[in-house]
Structure 1
Amino acid sequence: MKMLKILGIGLSLASLVAANGVQAAEGKPIFDVRYRYEHVEQDNALAHAVMNSVRTRLGYATGVHGGFSALVEVDHVGHLGGDYNDTRNGHTGRSLIPDPSGAAVNQAWVRHSGDYGSLTVGRQRINLGNQRFVGGVGWRQNEQTYDGAMLQLNPGRDLALSYAYIGRVNTIWGPDTGAFATAVNPARVDGDSHLFDLRWAFTPSFSLGAYHYRLGLDDLAIAPTAARGTLSSATTGLRAQGRSGALDYVLEYATQKDAEGNPLALDSRYHLIEVGYAFEQVKLRAGQEVLGAGSGAGNRAFQTPLATKHAFQGWADMFLTTPADGVDDRYVGVTVPLGGGNLQGWYHDFTPERGGGDYGSEFDLSYARPIPGIKGLSGLVKYASYSSDDRARTVDADKFWVQLQYAF
């Protein structure tokens, strides 16, 4: 009920701002259409999956009037054919493609901006840092957005502070929960979450970040049969990143504890070491990311339930839930300009953080570029191939995408 009130305030204020003094020329219509073909094949009992889907986004962003601005946008996801399990259609014999169909308000907020920074109230997109812990999951057709309020402060040119209160998460599994949903894929997750984030640019070539994310996810569970609330947690961390000439680096460390009534006692660690090197327009990157195992019965490993997970640990999405023994991901990648676009290639090697063994490895390849002759139109071809070394934990998987997107 409280989130309906917050969303209602956002919608009412958005209408008020649009109706009072904001000229149409000052605003901007939102029109974004994304077609995607996705093919998933796994070496298990599930039949392969194919989906043709279109995400259409319509909306309007006002101009700024007296420091106030507003935005409203609606998304619709439609299926053009295929055979798949989208978690809502009951086709459990097929591989998963998590893009259910339907329409919903994606964003509806009002913002006040001033010398202090800004305050945004309503349903909104929240992407913090590199989205490893909190993001919009923009890769999926139904974006993840948040009902709440976000305060962003800029007390100095080199210092940025933000605080967000979230009362509801509108997940990628929406817009409807449906009869086939479980505790790991509800359309909406209620609870009280508090996000604190600080970014300090000490010099033009070095910055430090500190964060504390306290997640109350009352309707979410770590497994379909687990108790709800088992992904509620408090994550506290530091991130340092810098650059020296053509070399850049990232060092990050975080701890995770249970919070907000989680029935599991959590105590796990996260660390990231990453180095990049650029020469001319070619970019090389290598790193190690470890999501640690926990102690005790059940899965108490380090989890990132609100992250844009597709951007991490390989595009095959084999580790959306961190296994109980944790994940040690060692990777190397290259980005090369080619034919007016960008070619990317990545290799990952996955091992358990605890107990030894080897999960497997993955190779990813993609090519993206604007389509000549049509402003705003872009194309993408993408492939991910995961090879399992432990069939008791993971299976071989191949995924292929073709995408066209037009944004006005």
Structure 2
Amino acid sequence: MQTHRTRWLALPLLMLSMQVLADSGPGAPSGDGEPILDLRYRYENIDSGSTPHGAEAHTLRTRLGYRTGEWNGWSALVEIDDVARLGGRYNDTRNGRTDHAVVADPDGAGVNQALLRYGADHGEVTLGRQRINLDNQRFIGGSGWRQNEQTYDGAMLRFTPTGKLTLGYAWIAQVNTVFGPDDGPYATAANRADSGGDSHLLHLRYALAPWLAATAYQYRLDLEDLAVSATAPAGSLSGNTTGLRVDGALDRFDYVLEYARQDERGRTPWTLDGRYHLVELGYRLGPVQFKAGQEVLGGADGPGNRAFQAPLATKHQFQGWADMFGTTPADGIDDRYLGAVAALAGGTLQAWYHDFRAERGGASYGTELDLSYAHAVPGVDGLGGLLKYAHYDSDNPALTADTRKVWLQLQYIY
């Protein structure tokens, strides 16, 4: 019912945006509107001991839309996504192929964004289905790596009273997850296409100087349809996450320090008391950026998995590209990592190494090596290629399995 209700709510936004586009008289939009065309083909191959068969997937994401010019501070955007399965054998979480590894890119078409935005000198308001990416997307993001992006239905307010201070507030009525656009008979509480609720995001950032900025936040998530696992009670991913992040850059160095606590929200079925911390240091040497860090999501006692979770994060950016820990294990996770990003032959090369351990007890989960190279395709403006590899070596077969993933991607953006 949530999906159908949101589509009805989006209709007035679509109609109004079309009216703005059609207005050619006095007061018409200033500046030109922009069409949106984004084509992304991806080949994904998985070899994993977690299922009888691996996976091989050919998918194409087609994104079409239009962004209007501005009219008295108002603008509108409409964006439609279609994910097509071109071939291969894999479990897309909707086709019932549970003997194959998961490639979480179900096929289908839907509204990715449909919004109105009003901007003024010291802030803006956005209403409708929209993209929300906060800070490094560790807690709130769009999961843009997956073919079906995660977007949010609600309202977002940004207020910038000075050049150094930014205040943000968002109300979210529904989360449209990467598993959409539809549920189908194989959906579970752990992979719903959408989740209704009454969530509130509070965010304050003060940039004192290039070497010091502080961000305070509280994310009050009410995810009434989602659960930490297929058998856990609905709402077990709801909760309050309150934290402080400090970051900056000085000469060749940059750093991040972050701490957060997670507790239960009113309708959360479990008592929660999780901790999170991040320590990261970077150093730039010529065309190479080195980074090393430790990220810890704490475990917890009690029946069920009550560890610190990040249900709305862009998870592929964290804890390795093999995506072995999309859900934090009950004993928590301690990820110690190092890597480098380098400009090479007109493209970008990345290499990362992760050592994963339980936050409680310190037992080893395993290690992972990640490599990627991205480069624009010569002779075609807007076309880029990506080759990517992840190799996870498990030390805990009861929890994870040895996994290798390879991706080849071509993306054209007009």
- Which position in structure 2 is the counterpart of 1:148? 154
Give the TM-score normalised by structure 1: 0.98
- Which position in structure 1 is the counterpart of 2:247? 241
- Which position in structure 2 is the counterpart of 1:7? 10
SS in 1 for 2:20: helix
- Which position in structure 1 is the counterpart of 2:408? 402
Shift of 1:335: 1.1
- Which position in structure 1 is the counterpart of 2:143? 137
Shift of 1:44: 3.4
- Which position in structure 2 is the counterpart of 1:211? 217
Structure 2: distance between partners of 1:106 and 1:187: 13
Q: In structure 2, give the amino acid aligned to 1:51.
A: A
Structure 1: distance between partners of 2:30 and 2:204: 36
Shift of 1:14: 2.0
Structure 2: distance between partners of 1:206 and 1:354: 32
* Identity between Structure 1 and Structure 2 (%): 56
Q: Deviations over 1:32-57 (max 9, x none)?
A: 00000000110234301000000000
Q: In structure 1, give the amino acid aligned to 2:50.
A: N
Structure 1: distance between partners of 2:210 and 2:363: 42
Asked if 2 retains the 8 angstrom alpha-carbon contact of 1:3 and 1:148, the reply is no
Q: Deviations over 1:366-393 (max 9, x none)?
A: 0001111111000000000000011111
Shift of 1:5: 5.7
Structure 1: distance between partners of 2:328 and 2:23: 49
- Following superposition of structure 1 onto structure 2, how do residues 42-191 of structure 1 map, counting pairs within 5 Å? 42-191=48-197
Asked if 2 retains the 8 angstrom alpha-carbon contact of 1:6 and 1:121, the reply is no
Do residues 372 (structure 1) and 378 (structure 2) align? yes
Q: In structure 2, give the amino acid aligned to 1:279.
A: L
Structure 1: distance between partners of 2:266 and 2:378: 51
Shift of 1:25: 6.2
Structure 1: distance between partners of 2:283 and 2:388: 24
The worse-fitting range, judged by mean Cα deviation, of 6-15 and 93-102 is: 6-15
SS in 2 for 1:155: coil
Structure 1: distance between partners of 2:29 and 2:343: 41
SS in 2 for 1:307: coil
Shift of 1:204: 2.5
1:311 to 279, 303, 317: 317
1:284 to 281, 285, 290: 290
Asked if 1 retains the 8 angstrom alpha-carbon contact of 2:210 and 2:250, the reply is no
- Which position in structure 1 is the counterpart of 2:398? 392
Q: In structure 1, give the amino acid aligned to 2:382.
A: G
Q: In structure 1, give the amino acid aligned to 2:411.
A: Q
Structure 1: distance between partners of 2:405 and 2:365: 18
Q: In structure 1, give the amino acid aligned to 2:145.
A: W
Structure 2: distance between partners of 1:170 and 1:66: 30
- Which position in structure 2 is the counterpart of 1:20? 23
Asked if 1 retains the 8 angstrom alpha-carbon contact of 2:51 and 2:101, the reply is no
SS in 1 for 2:303: coil
Asked if 1 retains the 8 angstrom alpha-carbon contact of 2:211 and 2:250, the reply is yes
Asked if 2 retains the 8 angstrom alpha-carbon contact of 1:159 and 1:200, the reply is yes
Structure 2: distance between partners of 1:364 and 1:56: 27
Shift of 1:8: 3.4
- Which position in structure 2 is the counterpart of 1:348? 354
Shift of 1:329: 0.1
Change (3 A) 1:162 1:341: same
Shift of 1:339: 1.1
- Following superposition of structure 1 onto structure 2, how do residues 249-260 of structure 1 map, counting pairs within 5 Å? 249-260=255-266
Q: In structure 2, give the amino acid aligned to 1:124.
A: Q
Do residues 220 (structure 1) and 226 (structure 2) align? yes
Change (3 A) 1:103 1:5: closer
Structure 1: distance between partners of 2:187 and 2:181: 12
SS in 2 for 1:70: strand
SS in 1 for 2:147: coil
The worse-fitting range, judged by mean Cα deviation, of 5-14 and 51-60 is: 5-14
Do residues 230 (structure 1) and 240 (structure 2) align? no
Asked if 2 retains the 8 angstrom alpha-carbon contact of 1:34 and 1:405, the reply is yes
Asked if 1 retains the 8 angstrom alpha-carbon contact of 2:20 and 2:29, the reply is no
Q: Deviations over 1:203-252 (max 9, x none)?
A: 12210000000000000011101110000010000000011210111000
Change (3 A) 1:24 1:96: farther
Asked if 2 retains the 8 angstrom alpha-carbon contact of 1:197 and 1:210, the reply is yes
Q: In structure 1, give the amino acid aligned to 2:17.
A: A
Structure 1: distance between partners of 2:227 and 2:50: 25
Shift of 1:357: 1.1
Gaps of 5+ in 2: none
> Aligned pairs, how many?
408
